[in-house]
Structure 1
Amino acid sequence: MYVAGEWIQQSTRTHCVINPANGDTLGELPLAEAADLDRALDAAERGFRQWRKTPVGERAHVLHEAARLLRERIDQIATLATLEEGKTLAETRIETLACANLFDFYAEEAKRNYGRVLVRPSGTRSLVMHEPVGPVAAFAPWNFPIHNPGRKLGAPIAAGCSVILKPAEETPASAMAVVQTLIDAGCPGDVVQLVFGVPDEVSRHLLASPIIRKVSFTGSTAVGKHLVKLAADTMKRTTMELGGHAPVIIFDDCDLERTVETLAIGKSRNAGQVCVSPTRFYVQDAIHDRFIDAFTKRFSALRLGSGLEPSTEMGPLANDRRLNAVSTLVSDAVQSGATLLCGGEASGEQGFFWRPTVLADAPLSARVMHEEPFGPIVVTSRFSDFDEAIEKANRLPYGLAAFAFTENARQANLVGDALEAGMVGINTTGLAAADAPFGGVKESGHGAEDGPEGLAACLVTKTIHQI
């Protein structure tokens, strides 16, 4: 842990960090006690008082320098992430660069934190000011062990806030490496705190403190709702990036070959352990059989293996919990009447590998039609016309991401308007960019990270009237 400007390596409790590709132990992680959290809170309070007064140019310099160090250390950081999370080196290198781009963006966006002057009679003034919200408690999951911590740190630091970051205990080294770049870039020790621990203990302790003024969480809807309730006791602001179950509408006028390739790559990214992963495939009748045949052939041919191997196209699931979860969902779907076209089983003698899986004509009674699989599982269903496709796509209470594939420009406009999601990809599965908001609607959360909206989420508004 990193608390009050020093690394803490000792604790009465530890967590065993596992390599998901082979099951080997990578190390023991110290877990925070109440005293550690209290010390982090005190430091965050001091850090906020200092950092909010720091000129924006100095804050920007720290973020730019941290971005430079991320790029300089890309091989080391990417290898750490692959070892502890499992995704391929190609993916963790991209993730490291994405984190660097985000830091660079917020370094400049901090300079555009404009207020406004209202029209008033001569000799009087009314000013609208944007000020940092205060110390932030940020909780990041394991599936993007570099980029998620970067998201939790970049905007608050740019805004002038201090941060207590609790990443996932499964992927600590990646978060440590990101925090180290900020330290080496000159970020004061009280501004960024890094803690690990029993999640419910840490969240309850931090959110009970009046020091914390904002909560940022990425994770499941169930946990997000729990944290919102805790935050309500002291009226803390919240940003919630929660679960999804992304629909994909594949119209009969799509570029079939390109659609198959795009979706196979998009679905295999991080073995499907992505909150915006395309999962529910709704395929128009006229091309249904051709698409399913082509996609199943391409998806099932993906090369599985250690993310450190250059030939690997898809790594393992991150932990044994995910292996058990996807196995249960696939078994339930088959028993409910879905047709298993490929995969449906674990792979290999070691590690947490799961074969790419396609479940055709999955009935609504199957759990996988309602629960996010968070694995390399695709479920398919047919549709005949536009209205039917939209009804099926929007039927769940989630609204994080949605996708559509069509070569008809008018249809693309209509589907973009009709889909109930915070982010829509048309002929693409790429939704994240430093300058674009990332977040969902309905039970997929509220607020956004990235873009100007991410900075705004770390600011409060003050109006000053002067006569």
Structure 2
Amino acid sequence: MTEYQARPGLFIAGSWRYGEGRDAEDILDPRTGRGQAAVPHATDADLDEALAAAQRGFDLWRKTAPEQRAAVLQRTAAILRERADPLARLITLEEGKPFTEAKGEIAGGAAILEFHAGEAMRIYGRVLPRPAGRRSMVLHQPVGPVAAFCAWNFPVLNVVRKLSPAIASGCSIIIKPSEEVAGCASEVIRCFEEAGVPGDVVQCVFGVPDAVSRKLLASPVTRKLSFTGSVPVGKHLMKLAADTMMRTTMELGGHGPVLVFDDCDLEKTLDTLVAHKFRNAGQVCVSPTRFHVQRGIYDRFAAGFAERTRHVVVGDGLDPATQMGPLANPRRPGAIEAMVADATRAGARLLAGGGRMEGTGFFFQPTVLADVPLSARVMNEEPFGPLALLTPFDDFDDAVAEANRLPFGLAAYCFTENGRRQNMLADALESGMIAINDVRVSAPDAPFGGVRDSGHGSEDGPEGIAAHMITKAVHIA
């Protein structure tokens, strides 16, 4: 039996399509750099058929009882949990993260499905007080067919995050996951299919991203855009979406600031942050990246962070001893290497790592840079890799100013035992999500999203459902 056990394909109008003369591209194994499967690209005719199916699916699904929509989500969650081991293995083979991290990703996806199954039963409107004989109501109704695009870094979770709230709210959806993890996405779609979602309700397509997005967003069928990815691509898609005034949810990049004050539990903070920094090799939109540390503990923090980083075990994600796998694709090692070189030329001190690892695949050392000047590219551009950037600060105002300096506002982290300071940080930081003395900013019942250049709108929580609804006022005399 070979390691790779998936068949990537297009899912359109309830049927699977594979090669059949279509263009295709290879899915690479990040551990070796070798191809392991081919993903077909949707033709223009495929996209036309997907749009027509999505319209039929919306006409059907919007009228379907909430109990039935909830049941599909619950069954999908159960199937995901049953297949956690083989699906986690596939995540490692396509994206590179360690098997245990991949299993955690699947559990997170199942939890979102279960939460949204409950929310499908709680899409409430309200009745407004009026004189006898008159009635005014506020209704919340599904917005319409959704076009969703998602990144490669969480091959299962990103797909679930798009499908779950759309299905719960009564929308149909056309999803275009990343071609680099198409096997994972296809297996998630099969879970929904087996759970009983009608074929016209969910479509899955792959192809050249610009061509697919232009086609789907130009269609009058599409009434909502949901995107997870980079800031430049997100802004480009919003411009396309503006032509039809569609609803948008944009979960874009970040450059997570971490404010470490001198009253924190230093050893516990270091243990927590090093493990979280190198989760998924730093390829996480909410990854802690810019570590601003109060000057009195800065040297001890830097030494402790570097020492722990040097002990992170990097290797094949299927090896139980591995703590960090390879980067996900051949573009990332060169990009990270260039940022490290630029930072050291600008005066940063290299405390750990700093280069590619020997052998095949896309492996890069966990890296720590201290005293990184603000002029360095990496202090202004999201690195999206295993880079920790350390700089000192003197007081509260300096820390907040630096955290808010960049146009990003996705996730921020703070470590302090001072309760008044915790409240002040919650108010002062310009970020959609803030964790204090913790690193978890994602939960099924909490909104997930950013502000400023990091996007708008929320996924997860009741807000994820609301983003797929329109509000209608009805007045009856």
> What band does the TM-score fall into relative to the shorter chain?
over 0.9
**2:169 matched to 1:159?**
yes
Mapping for residues 382-461 of structure 1, pairs under 5 Å: 382-461=392-471
CA deviations over 1:163-218 (Å, ceiling 9, x no partner): 00000000011111111111101000000000000000000000000000000000
The residue aligned with 2:15 is: 6
In the alignment, is the contact (CA less than 8 A) between 2:33 and 2:330 conserved in 1?
Answer: no
Secondary structure of 2:303's partner? helix
Q: How far apart, in 1, do the equivalents of 2:191 and 2:134 lie?
A: 46
CA deviations over 1:268-319 (Å, ceiling 9, x no partner): 1000000000000101011000110001000121000011110000000001
In the alignment, is the contact (CA less than 8 A) between 2:258 and 2:412 conserved in 1?
Answer: yes
AA matched with 1:298: R
Q: How far apart, in 2, do the equivalents of 1:33 and 1:326 lie?
A: 35
Which of 161, 173, 189 is equivalent to 1:179?
189
CA deviations over 1:28-48 (Å, ceiling 9, x no partner): 110111111101000000000
- Aligned residue pairs total 467
Mapping for residues 23-422 of structure 1, pairs under 5 Å: 23-422=33-432
Post-superposition shift, 1:12?
2.4
Where in structure 1 are there 5+ consecutive unaligned residues? none
Post-superposition shift, 1:320?
0.9
* Displaced runs of 4 or more, over 4 A: none
Post-superposition shift, 1:411?
1.3
Post-superposition shift, 1:368?
0.3
Q: How far apart, in 1, do the equivalents of 2:411 and 2:339 lie?
A: 21
AA matched with 2:14: G
Question: What RMSD, in angstroms, separates the aligned Cα atoms of the two structures?
Answer: 0.7
Q: How far apart, in 2, do the equivalents of 1:427 and 1:166 lie?
A: 36
Q: How far apart, in 2, do the equivalents of 1:167 and 1:370 lie?
A: 28
In the alignment, is the contact (CA less than 8 A) between 2:292 and 2:393 conserved in 1?
Answer: yes
In the alignment, is the contact (CA less than 8 A) between 2:251 and 2:454 conserved in 1?
Answer: yes
CA deviations over 1:64-112 (Å, ceiling 9, x no partner): 0000000011111111111100001111101101111111100110111
Q: How far apart, in 1, do the equivalents of 2:196 and 2:178 lie?
A: 25
Q: How far apart, in 2, do the equivalents of 1:75 and 1:342 lie?
A: 33
In the alignment, is the contact (CA less than 8 A) between 2:256 and 2:286 conserved in 1?
Answer: yes
Q: How far apart, in 1, do the equivalents of 2:339 and 2:387 lie?
A: 9
Q: How far apart, in 2, do the equivalents of 1:288 and 1:76 lie?
A: 43
In the alignment, is the contact (CA less than 8 A) between 2:31 and 2:363 conserved in 1?
Answer: yes
Secondary structure of 2:390's partner? strand
Post-superposition shift, 1:123?
1.4
In the alignment, is the contact (CA less than 8 A) between 2:139 and 2:471 conserved in 1?
Answer: yes
AA matched with 1:434: P
Post-superposition shift, 1:463?
1.1
What percentage of aligned pairs have identical amino acids?
A: 57
Post-superposition shift, 1:428?
1.2
CA deviations over 1:119-163 (Å, ceiling 9, x no partner): 111111111100000000000100000000000000000000000
Post-superposition shift, 1:25?
1.3
Q: How far apart, in 2, do the equivalents of 1:437 and 1:338 lie?
A: 36
Q: How far apart, in 2, do the equivalents of 1:295 and 1:152 lie?
A: 36
| TM-score computed with the length of structure 1 as normaliser | 0.99
CA deviations over 1:396-449 (Å, ceiling 9, x no partner): 000001111111111111112111100001111111100000000011000000
Q: How far apart, in 2, do the equivalents of 1:26 and 1:193 lie?
A: 24
Post-superposition shift, 1:241?
0.3
Post-superposition shift, 1:23?
1.3
In the alignment, is the contact (CA less than 8 A) between 2:316 and 2:322 conserved in 1?
Answer: yes
AA matched with 2:414: A
Secondary structure of 1:398's partner? coil
| TM-score computed with the length of structure 2 as normaliser | 0.97
Post-superposition shift, 1:24?
2.1
